[in-house]
Amino acid sequence: MSEYQLYCFAESGPAYKVAFMLSACKLDWQPIAVDFLNGETRTSEYRTQVNEMGEVPVLVHRGRKLVQSAAILSYLAKETGKFGGRNPQEDYDILSWMLFDNHKFSSNLGTLRFLVVFAKTGETPVTEFLRARVMAALAIVEKHLDTRKFMIGNEPTIADISMCGYLFHPESCGIDFADFHNLERWKADMAQIPGWKMPYDMIARAAPKRS
């Protein structure tokens, strides 16, 4: 068994963030497929034995179950000494952008994507609201990247990895990311990190279920 086991499913942006980090750090890890779309995370078994929050990702390491992608990324940065801040100010900046990502960036994009792609709601006042929130968040990141290569400076950190959650999935949800030139340049730079793969290559949709 690998040193790290990741409860995940291919469509999950938060799971992709953690898988990206594990691969970029060249860690020995394996996916444990979760049948989210058919309700596995809502079962009492999952919430009792895996994650009481009923979510992925869950990272198992040295007998511990770690939850919430931002917390897991922070844990891995400390464990490996990679993709973290170089000083207290950078640690603070990383945390700030990860909170922004989880509150306004990946969260809104992920919810919009779920409604449009998987729930197939069509356009509704809710999707219009979410799309406006996504565009506002993208504009903030686009402007921020005017003066720096990555979110914190000239080197990628877990803040950058966190924000990759849904940006490499092929489902655009009606958003033309090509309009955001700095973001597209940043995405190309992130794709140059050794270990990077597209989401459905990083976590295969047909990954075997656990026994």
3 state DSSP class of 191:
coil
Q: Which of 51, 90, 54 is nearest to 74 (CA)?
A: 90
What residues contact residue 179 under an 8 Å CB cut-off, 6+ apart? Answer: none
Residue 68, C-beta contacts closer than 8 angstroms, at least 6 positions apart: 53, 55
Question: Given this model, what pLDDT does residue 171 score?
Answer: 82
pLDDT at 72 over 90: yes
Mean pLDDT of 93-107: 97
Give me the mean pLDDT over the 28-51 stretch.
Answer: 96
User: Is the preceding peptide bond at 125 cis, omega within 30 degrees of 0?
Assistant: no
Provide the 10 A C-beta neighbour count for residue 4.
19
- Domains of the chain (ranges; CATH) run 4-82+197-202 (3.40.30.10), 88-190 (1.20.1050.10)
pLDDT at 176: 86
Please give the average per-residue pLDDT across 85-96, as a whole number. 97
**What is the pLDDT, as a whole number, of residue 211?**
43
Q: Mean pLDDT over residues 106-116, rounded?
A: 95
pLDDT of amino acid 183: 97
Are the CB atoms for 177 and 183 separated by under 8 Å? yes
Give CA–CA dist 128/24, Å, rounded: 35
For residue 207, is pLDDT > 90? no
pLDDT of 208 over the 50 cut: no
How far apart (Å, rounded) are the C-alpha atoms in residues 83 and 114? 29
Residue 92: pLDDT over 60: yes
Q: Pairing between strand 4-8 and 64-67?
A: unpaired
**Half-sphere exposure for 209 (CA within 13 Å, toward CB):** 6
Can you give the pLDDT at residue 179?
87
pTM for this model (two decimals): 0.94
pLDDT of residue 161: 98
